[in-house]
Amino acid sequence: MKRLLLPALCLALVPLASCIVLVGAGAGYVVSQEILPGSVHQAQVLRDVDTVWAQAQATMQDMKIGDYETTNYPRRIETVVDGADVEVVVEAYDLNRTLIKVTAKRYLSFDNDLAGLVLNRILDDLGEDH
């Protein structure tokens, strides 16, 4: 009887442990994601600005076509993605909170789909749930 009690107890705790892991994984680190006036796609993440800046540069390096221009203050990346001019701005919002802003223009008009795609790609590369 005692031999069966321990395995049964372990099996009973397995579903509880997996539920806890799933709840923690679903919480994520994206505080907010929105579209601002001027077709600026913005996300606020719970990461320090240096980590987000490094990941944004790496992501844009992979996505770019043609020239790639960065400035460190303000943290800004300008490049061409899929024929559109894309600008990514990374700003410190608070301690371990960072804003990511993405704008895309094609033929003198805003390209909301591409800006959203770029922002989501940066968030994916950061390992964020959005």
Transcribe 80-100 into DSSP letters: EETTEEEEEEEEEEETTEEEE
User: Which domains, from first to last, does the chain contain?
Assistant: 29-126 (3.30.530.20)
Strand residue runs (E) in the chain: 30-36, 40-45, 68-72, 75-81, 84-94, 97-106, 109-110
Is the CB of residue 49 less than 8 Å from the CB of residue 90? yes
Tokens 């300008």 correspond to 78
For 28, the 3-state DSSP assignment is coil
Question: Which of 10-14, 52-56, 68-72, 73-77 has the weakest average pLDDT?
Answer: 10-14
Q: Is the pLDDT assigned to residue 40 strictly greater than 90?
A: yes
* pLDDT: which is higher, 119 or 27: 119
**pLDDT band for position 62 (cuts 50, 70, 90):** confident
| Entry pTM | 0.73
